Amino acid sequence: MSLRFPPSIDTGLRPALVTGASSGIGRASAEALAALGHPVVVGARRADRLDELVETIRAAGGQATACAVDVTSSVSVQAFVGAATEAYGPPEVLLSSAGHLKMARAWEMDPADFADQIDVHLLSVQRLLHAVVPGMVDRRRGDVVLIGSDVAYTARPRSGAYVAAKAGLETMAHQLRKELEGTGVRLGVVRPGPVMTEMGSEFDPETAESVINDWVKHGFGRHPRMCKPADLARGVAAMVSMPRGAQITELEIQPEAPIEEDFS
């Protein structure tokens, strides 16, 4: 056992893979990582949006390339990682941020929809880990960041399979950190509270009203503020930028309540 870590390599030599990069937290994090100097490979199913993101990153002086990926397909994930490696070399950073949301009471949700949500938010993460982490372990370095959710600990009603999936992800992360201990690979969870993203924006009025009413009933939504994707991106950037010898294992980011004019 050595108490010394290998010298840190230049950020520009640390390629980063970002899934779910077409919008929200994934997109904001890709821009933040590129601003730090990481060559970034952005992936999502909506390939047309990725091209625009790459142009934005390059216009700001960063390096980026796009590769469409369906995280629910092992074949697609392997192709994504292969294309990323060909573009910039073996991945040094992995951010798993893909997801979409469907709301319903757990017992009312169609079992196929429930399974699909588990696949997107939990099983897909393991697919990425399976494709990327072995190489990191061989090189004795790497940073993996998983986007979790505070619903894993404060379950919100009518969230379908999202709560179960994110709770599973958090528990898997605890297991992974034990398994990766001593390998040089760091793994952390950035845990958002309410965030203003496209997830949920497609709800029909009846679903939105039912969700909001149940959340208020159970004590959620104490104030109207929500985080911005850039707030979470700052957490991702901090996690992967920690000097060797230390790691941020969990980082929960919640919206700050508006300041009350009369607080007495």
Mark 42-52 as b/e (b = at least 16 C-beta within 10 Å). Answer: bbbbeeebbee
∠ CA 17-237-99, rounded to 5°: 50
100 neighbors 199 (Cβ within 8 angstroms): yes
The set of residues, in sequence order, having a beta carbon less than 8 Å from that of 148 and lying 6+ positions away, is 166, 169, 170, 173, 189, 190, 191, 192
How far, in Å, CA of 14 to CA of 11, rounded? 5
At residue 195, the 3 state secondary structure works out as: strand
Does the active-site annotation cover 162? yes
**Given 80, 88, 162, 220, which residue is catalytic?**
162
CA separation (Å) from 218 to 100, 143, 185, 194, 214? 23, 37, 39, 15, 6
Which residues are CB-contacts of 119 (< 8 A; sequence separation ≥ 6)? 72
Residues labelled as active-site residues? 162
